Chains A and B, each alone.
Chain A
Amino acid sequence: MHGYSGKILHIDLSERKSWLESKPEKWYQTYIGGVSMATRLCWENITPGCDPLSAENPICLANGIFAGTPVPVGGKFGLASKSPLTGFIGDSLSGSWFSTSFKRAEWDGIVIHGASEDWVTVFVDDDMVEFRDASHLLGLGTTETESAIRDEFGDDQVRTACIGPAGENLGRISNVSNDGRKAGRTGHGAVWGSKKLKGLSMRGTHGVEVADSEELLRLSLDILEAAQGPHTQKYRILGTTSNVLNMNKLGLLPTKNYQEGVFEDAELISGEYLHEHYKAKTIACAQCPIACEQVGWVKEGPYAEAMSHIEYESLFALSSNCGVNDMEAAIKAITNCNELGMDTMSTGVTISWAMECYERGIFTKEDFECERYPEGFEANFGSGMAMVKLTEMIAHRDGYMGDLLADGTQRASTLLDEERDMESYKWAMNIKGLETPGYDARALKTFALGLSVGTRGGCHNRTAAYDPDIKGQVDRFSVDETRGKLAKGTEEYAAVYDTLPLCKFIRRCFTGKADREGAWPAIAKLINATTGWDFDYDDVDLIGERAHTIKKAFNIREGWTRDDDKLPYRWKHEEMTKGPSAESVVTDEELEYLKDLYYEAKGWTPDGLIPKEKLVELGMEDVAEDIGV
Chain B
Amino acid sequence: MPLPSTSKHEYITCDPDKCIGCQICEYVCSYAKTGEFNTFRSRIRMVRDHKILITTVACRTCENAPCAIACPRDALKQDPKTGVIKVDTALCDGCAWCIEACDFGAISINPRTKLAEICDLCEGEEDGPQCVKWCPKDALEKTTPDRRAQRSRRKLAREEILR
Closest beta carbon of chain A to B56's beta carbon, Å: 13
A213–B37 touching, CB < 8 Å:
yes
Q: Tell which of B38, B47, B54 touches A283, judged by Cβ atoms closer than 8 Å.
A: B54
Closest beta carbon of chain B to A196's beta carbon, Å: 28
B134 within 8 A of A: yes
Q: Tell which of B27, B40, B47, B51 touches A70, judged by Cβ atoms closer than 8 Å.
A: B27
Closest to A157 in B: B40
B20–A283 touching, CB < 8 Å:
yes
A284 within 8 A of B: yes
A180 within 8 A of B: yes
Closest beta carbon of chain A to B25's beta carbon, Å: 10
B22–A284 touching, CB < 8 Å:
yes
Closest beta carbon of chain A to B35's beta carbon, Å: 7
A100 within 8 A of B: yes
Closest beta carbon of chain B to A434's beta carbon, Å: 28
Complex alpha-carbon distance, A281 and B139, angstroms: 14
A295–B51 touching, CB < 8 Å:
yes
B28–A283 touching, CB < 8 Å:
no
| Interfacial chain B residues near A217, Cβ < 8 Å | 27-28, 31
A 202-242 binary contact with B (CB < 8 Å = 1; else 0): 00011110100100010001001101100000000000000
B21–A224 touching, CB < 8 Å:
no
Q: Tell which of A68, A104, A228, A280 touches B52, judged by Cβ atoms closer than 8 Å.
A: A280
A284–B20 touching, CB < 8 Å:
yes
- Assess A207 versus B24: contact at CB under 8 Å? Given A69-B37, A295-B52: no
B52–A70 touching, CB < 8 Å:
no
Interface-forming stretch among A286-294, A406-414, A440-448?
Answer: A286-294
- Assess A206 versus B54: contact at CB under 8 Å? Given A70-B24, A224-B24, A289-B24: no
A307 within 8 A of B: yes
Query: Which residues, 156 to 190 on A, are CB-close (under 8 Å) to B?
Result: 156-157, 180
A210–B52 touching, CB < 8 Å:
no
A 289-311 binary contact with B (CB < 8 Å = 1; else 0): 10100010100000000011000
Listed residue (A72, A207, A224) with the most chain B CB atoms within 10 angstroms of its CB: A207
A 386-402 binary contact with B (CB < 8 Å = 1; else 0): 00000000000000000
Closest to B39 in A: A100
| Interfacial chain A residues near B22, Cβ < 8 Å | 284-289, 291
Query: Which residues, 537 to 581 on A, are CB-close (under 8 Å) to B?
Result: none
Complex alpha-carbon distance, A143 and B51, angstroms: 9
| Interfacial chain B residues near A157, Cβ < 8 Å | 40
Complex alpha-carbon distance, A207 and B41, angstroms: 8
Query: Which residues, 22 to 67 on B, are CB-close (under 8 Å) to A?
Result: 22-24, 27-28, 30-31, 34-41, 47, 51-52, 54
Closest beta carbon of chain A to B137's beta carbon, Å: 7
A18 within 8 A of B: no
B128 within 8 A of A: no
A282 within 8 A of B: yes
Complex alpha-carbon distance, A295 and B53, angstroms: 11
| Interfacial chain A residues near B27, Cβ < 8 Å | 69-70, 217, 287
Complex alpha-carbon distance, A350 and B137, angstroms: 39
A207–B20 touching, CB < 8 Å:
no
Closest beta carbon of chain B to A176's beta carbon, Å: 18
Complex alpha-carbon distance, A348 and B70, angstroms: 57
Closest beta carbon of chain B to A473's beta carbon, Å: 32
B111 within 8 A of A: yes
| Interfacial chain B residues near A280, Cβ < 8 Å | 51-52
- Assess A207 versus B52: contact at CB under 8 Å? Given A224-B136, A289-B136, A291-B20: no
| Interfacial chain A residues near B31, Cβ < 8 Å | 70, 213, 217
Query: Which residues, 85 to 104 on A, are CB-close (under 8 Å) to B?
Result: 100, 104
Q: Tell which of A206, A207, A224 touches B134, judged by Cβ atoms closer than 8 Å.
A: A224
A291–B137 touching, CB < 8 Å:
yes
| Interfacial chain A residues near B134, Cβ < 8 Å | 221, 224
A180–B24 touching, CB < 8 Å:
no
Closest to A225 in B: B136
A104–B38 touching, CB < 8 Å:
yes
Q: Tell which of A180, A206, A221 touches B51, judged by Cβ atoms closer than 8 Å.
A: A180
Closest beta carbon of chain A to B127's beta carbon, Å: 12
B20–A307 touching, CB < 8 Å:
no
| Interfacial chain A residues near B30, Cβ < 8 Å | 207
| Interfacial chain B residues near A225, Cβ < 8 Å | 136
B 107-136 binary contact with A (CB < 8 Å = 1; else 0): 000010000000000000000000000101
Complex alpha-carbon distance, A45 and B34, angstroms: 39
Closest 6 CB pairs of A and B: A207-B36, A207-B38, A289-B136, A70-B27, A291-B20, A281-B52
Which residues of A approach B to under 8 Å, CB–CB?
68-70, 72, 100, 104, 143, 156-157, 180, 205-208, 210, 213, 217, 221, 224-225, 227-228, 280-289, 291, 295, 297, 307-308
- Pairs A–B under 8 Å by Cβ, sample size 6: A207-B34, A288-B22, A289-B24, A295-B51, A297-B52, A308-B51
15 more contacts with CB within 8 A, not counting A221-B28, A283-B21, are A68-B39, A207-B34, A207-B40, A213-B31, A213-B36, A217-B31, A224-B134, A283-B51, A284-B21, A286-B22, A289-B20, A289-B137, A291-B137, A307-B52, A308-B51
